[in-house]
Amino acid sequence: MGSGMGKTSTRGHKGQGSRSGSRLLRGFEGGQMPLHRRLPKRGFTNIFRTEYQIVNLDRLAGLGEKNITLEVLINNGIAGKNDLIKILGDGNLKSALHVQAHKFSKSAQEKIAKAGGKAEVIGAVTPASETTQPTQPKQETKSKKK
């Protein structure tokens, strides 16, 4: 029983692709302008972007816990162990929760406070201007040009 691909072995008659040793580049379209070059390019990718795992309040309320820490979120499969977590305000809280996360939206903070809970920011990154030591004023040098 054969493969059903006799004679030209699916290479076709003549041409670049039928020759031995032919290896075409990915995206090559036989000389036609490739699709990836025909489409317009827009924007850029910021390599310094910090990605947050977003969690809404309705998911927190569904956990049935009063203290919500990173360990609770990881154990329930809501976040990974290396994820940064941001709490968003979608949903309502019926009970007071003490929530620890890396970031909170304004609406989430308001809803947590309104329910009588507390939103605690952990691992807060301070801006570089606040972390640098204050510089000493430079002493004036008395040099006169002649």
At 131 the three-state DSSP class reads helix
User: pLDDT tens digits for 35-77?
Assistant: 999 999 999 999 999 999 999 999 999 998 999 999 999 999 9
For residues 76-86, give the mean pLDDT: 94
Cα torsion for 135, 136, 138, 139, to the nearest 10°?
-170
**Can you give the pTM of this predicted structure?**
0.60
Looking at 3.30.930.10, 3.100.10.10, 3.90.226.10, 3.30.70.380, the CATH number of the domain 52-124 comes to: 3.100.10.10
Question: Which among 130, 108, 129 has a CA at the least distance from the CA of 52?
Answer: 108
At 98 the three-state DSSP class reads strand
Does residue 139 have a pLDDT over 70?
A: no
Alpha carbon 24 to its chain centroid, in Å, reads 34
Residue extents of the structural domains in the chain? 52-124
pLDDT for the residue 129: 47
